[in-house]
Chain A
Amino acid sequence: MNQSKIFQGLVLALAVAPAFAQTTTTAPPPGRLLASNCFQCHGTNGSGGVDSIRGESVSEIYNEMKEMQRKTPPKMMDMHARGYTDAEIKLLATYLATLR
């Protein structure tokens, strides 16, 4: 009986631990601020706007932007894409793909 109560107490303490950890702050997801450059034209979180980019995979976004970087004559988005490094495109594409 006593042992059982101690066990229950431990279980509760363990169960509470992650919840307690939540009261500290979570770091912003990598790529979120960079990807927010898309939202003025593509809508908040990539929904709506000139065309929606929400729901696209990392490789879809990455490949589209690499293609835009090479496109001539460039339209507005083709110019904009030229402003990011390869690593930055991967970073923002990885974040955007989490917005399912």
Chain B
Amino acid sequence: MVKRRDFIKWTGAAGIGLTAAGWSALAAADDRRTRTATTSAFPTTGIKGRVVVIGGGMGGATVAKYLRFWGGTGVDVTLIERDSAYTSSIMSNLVLNGSRTINSLQFGYGNLASRYGVKIVKGEVVTIDPVGRAVTLASGTRYAYDRLVVAPGVDFDVLPGLETAAAQAKVPHAWTAGPQTTALRNMITAMPAGGVFVMSIPAKPIRCPPGPYERACVVADWLKRNRSGAKVIVLDANASIMAEEHSFLEGFALHGVEYRPGVSINSVDAATLTLNTSEGNVRGNVLNVIPPHRAGKVIAANGLADAGGRWSNVDVLSYETRIAPGIHVIGDASATTQPKAGHIANQEAKVCADAILRLLSGRAPDPSPHTNSACYSPITFETASWLTVNFAYDPVSKTMQPVPASAGEAATRSKDNFEEMNKWFTALMGDSFA
């Protein structure tokens, strides 16, 4: 009799003990395996869930990493990316002046897999099923999720005259680093003395607001030193320089860049290298036309482009979309008060990862997040300026707002800034991909 009662106590206790201890032992073994590959052990959070991430850029890679780094081994993370490596658009203007190679800007997904246990799937998502909570790839493979993060970056409008691949090859935008960057570099080096490089900037919002002006400076600096009499003309659909106006106006004066604000592109004649603009025709030896932007295709294709048909509206406490519960959109594809840029996409990803971990464990997102934007812009081959702003959540407008005292740019370009830029880039890419 007594033995039976003891038996129940023992089995009851042991039953719980085996379950909990067994689970902990498995988690610890997983931790040990991981610890051999990384400097930090995973936390034991008890949080469980399946998260699928679409897109392995700055936002997508960072959210995948931090979901595991902060959430532990109970959080199953699958990153779906069509390319085998990410090519950084940050620093890619330095390919145009020959000081960097495209290879130096490429980052693979091996660290996310080996250090953090992120499952990497090479493929392209075609369909998102927000009700069944699953995504389907072009191959037909289906991945179920509890939470989905969509980070596809930007896509581009097709301007009249640039419908064909042949025309696009003659007039590259090179606004996504890769083959077009190399092609544009080759066109610049083929320019004759006295040649004209014409670039056009679309109306905002665009990815990396200082980037086009930085490109104009870097290219003009190279031409000045290598092609006598050559010049750069910048046609900007915006009324004025969108960022670091002080630094870029100085740069334009230094390099003799001709800056024409308020000029938009109607059409492009790739055969004669002529732009039909709101201010008449402009010809060049090289045309670099950056088309208007929209979120990556997967957003509109799945009914998520509720902001002007181009971007996704999100709650910036979690980056969950306004229209599809369980689906989060981070980085350039979301419509927020923050700039579209890699550095801040990394921080949006951390806010999103933290919020998803809280939501998976029945908690509310952090009510007062900060994000920050920071970047360096080369003005010459050896000097750079910088720009920074710290954003805080405003509960009244429910938006991220710049803290005024934290917003500013470098007083002058300098070689020190250029050196800091290289350290910043290495650190940023490490925090996102390593």
Q: Please report A residues at the B interface, Cβ cutoff 8 Å.
A: 2, 5-6, 9, 12-13, 15-16, 19-20, 22-28, 32-34, 36-37, 39-45, 47-50, 73-74, 76, 79-84, 88
Contact = CB atoms under 8 A, between A and B. Distances in A.
B8 to A, nearest CB: 9
B13 A16 contact: yes
A40 B363 contact: no
7 contacts: A19-B24, A24-B46, A34-B369, A40-B343, A40-B346, A41-B427, A50-B424
Contacts of A23: 19-20, 23, 46
Nearest to A18: B20
Given A40-B347, A79-B408, A26 B43 contact: yes
- Overall SS of chain B's interface: helix
Of A19, A40, A83, A88, the most chain B CB neighbours within 10 A belong to: A40
A39 B366 CA distance: 18
Given A25-B47, A44-B434, 5 more contacts: A5-B9, A13-B9, A23-B20, A25-B362, A40-B346
Given A27-B363, A36-B347, A41-B428, A79 B407 contact: yes
Contacts, number: 150
B42 to A, nearest CB: 12
Given A2-B2, A40-B428, A41-B428, A28 B388 contact: no
A76 B40 CA distance: 29
Of A20, A23, A74, the most chain B CB neighbours within 10 A belong to: A23
Interface residues of B, number: 65
A55 to B, nearest CB: 13
Contact of B392 (A24, A44, A48, A83): A83
Leading 10 A-B pairs by shortest Cβ distance = A83-B390, A83-B406, A49-B427, A25-B361, A9-B9, A83-B403, A19-B20, A82-B405, A25-B46, A16-B17
Contacts of B361: 25, 27
A9 B54 CA distance: 50
A37 B371 contact: yes
A82 B9 CA distance: 60
B135 to A, nearest CB: 26
B372 A80 contact: yes
